[in-house]
Amino acid sequence: MSNINDYFAQSELAQAAYGTFPSNVMTATELTNDVVGMSSNQANEFISKWQVVAQSPYSITGFSATVFESREDGAKYLAIRGTELSANDVVSSTLLALGWPSNFNPQFLALKSQIENVWMQDPAVLQNQNFVVTGHSLGGHLAAAIKSSFPQATQGYLFNAPGVGGILGNVADSLASVLGLGNISTDNLWNVRSSEGISFVAGLGYQLGTATSIQTEATNSHGISTLVDALAVQAVYAKLVPSISETQLNSILDALGSLNDSTSAPINKTLESALDALRFIALGPSDAKTDTRAKMKNEWRLAA
C-alpha cells in the first residue's frame, strides 16, 4: 500500500503556501493565479477542505508560511513557501550550498520566532496544538528544521527540497557538533522528489527523511505544480486499487510516457495518457482525449 494520498494532500498545501491571503481569506482567484497555479476545480475543492487561520506573508525576513486548518477535523498544518527570486532567498540558498546548518539560516530564525512568539501564543492558531509541517524547495528544508525544533510538529513533508551539508559535504554536521547544535531528526519525515529533470536546489546536501521518487514529466520538474499533478493522477489510480504500491504507480506512468500513438508518434503527455487509459478502462473506447494540461487538471480532480 502506498502513501500517495498523504503525499498528494501535503503537496497541495505546499502549493497553496505560494498564495497570499489578506485577512486570512482564501479565494479561488488567488489559488488560480500564475504564482500558485491551481485549476478552478482544484482551487474550489481545496477551499472546501481547508481554511487559513494565520499567515506570515513574504517580507523582509525572506520567509512566508501559512497555517491551514482542516475543515473536517480541525487539525493544523503549517505550509512553508519555497524559493523566491530575491536577495534573501539567494543568501539562504547560498548558506545551504555551503553547508551551513539551519540554525544560521536567517529565514529559519525568523520563522522559528514567528512560531514561538506569535502562533504558539494564540489559542486559535498553534497554542497547545500539534501540527504537520510541509514545504516545497527551500520551504521543504525549513520544514525539516522546524520539525526537528518543535516536538509539536509530528510529521514533516518535503517536496524537491535541499538536504543538509551542502555541496561541501559534512561541514554542517561538524560545525553543529562544535557549537552544540542538534542534527535534524529524520523520524516521520518524508522526502518526495520528482523523478525527471535536473534540480540544483533539490540536489543540495545529504537528503533527509524517507526518500520517495515520484514519476513526473521532465518539464519544470522542480516546480511544485509538476509534483502535484503527478501525485493527483497517481492518487486516482490508488483510489481504484488501494493496495497498489508506489513502485507500481511509477511504473504505470513511466510506461504510459514511453508509448506511441496510432501514427507511431511519441506520446509525451504522460499524465494525460494516464487519465485516458483510465477512461478507456471505465468507459470503453472514446475519441475524447485529454489533450491539454488545463483539461487534465480538471479531469483528474473530477475523477478523484
Q: How far apart are the first and last CA of the chain?
A: 18
Per residue of the chain (304 residues), give pLDDT as tens. 468 889 999 999 999 999 999 999 999 999 999 999 998 989 999 999 999 999 998 766 668 999 999 999 999 999 999 865 444 444 444 444 444 444 446 788 889 999 999 999 999 999 999 999 999 988 888 888 898 889 999 999 999 876 544 433 343 444 344 333 345 566 788 888 876 544 434 444 444 556 677 766 555 556 788 888 888 888 877 787 778 777 777 776 666 654 444 444 444 556 666 666 665 555 555 555 555 555 545 544 544 4
Comparing CA positions, the residue from 236, 235, 232, 227 lying closest to residue 303 is: 236
Comparing CA positions, the residue from 185, 52, 69 lying closest to residue 130 is: 69
- Which residues are CB-neighbours of 186 under 8 A, at least 6 positions away? 208, 209, 210
Is the distance from CB of 70 to CB of 47 less than 8 angstroms? no
- Strands 210-214, 131-136: pairing is unpaired
Helices 293-303 and 270-283 cross at an angle (nearest 10°) of 50
For the 4-234 domain, the top CATH level (class) is: alpha beta
What is the rounded distance in angstroms from the CA atom of residue 19 to the CA atom of residue 272? 26
Model pTM score = 0.76
Give the residue extent of every domain in the chain.
4-234
Is the distance from CB of 267 to CB of 261 less than 8 angstroms? yes
